[in-house]
Amino acid sequence: MPVDPKGRTEAGYVRHAFICAHERPDGAARPSCRPKQSLDLMRQIKQRVREESKENIRVQKSGCLDHCEFGPTCVVYPEGTWYGLTTEGSIDALIHHLLTGEVSEDQTLKLV
């Protein structure tokens, strides 16, 4: 039976953020998140969360989340809260959400 090297006894995370790192070729019909520096952003957010929390919070890249026009796109579980990380306010709101569980609805992704 394998043993978890981090001492966990259950699978899962307190909060789990997926940040799209998908890249489409030039001329594609839809935009993509990686050319909008989503990987650098993901690394910065991951570092901040590591520095500021000891909780079991996971930040990782993902494939296309299919809200490409609003990216860099991010979704946080277990809440299922979506962000379009296009402003300092939305990035700060995501970090605050990850650290505290509090969601600022005015900074979440709206499709209108």
Binding residues vs ligand FES (CB under 6 A): 20, 22, 32-33, 64-68, 71, 73
Q: Which is nearer to ligand FES, 42 or 49 (CB)?
A: 42
The least CB distance from residue 108 to ligand FES, in Å, is 15
The number of residues making up the chain comes to: 112
Q: Give min distance, CB of 77 to ligand FES, in A.
A: 16
For residues 45-76, one letter each, b for 16 or more C-beta atoms within 10 angstroms of the residue's C-beta and e for the rest, the string is bbebbeeeeeeebebebbebbebbebbbbbbb
The least distance separating ligand FES from the CB of residue 22, rounded to whole angstroms, comes to: 4
* Of residues 42, 44, 38, the one with CA closest to residue 22: 38
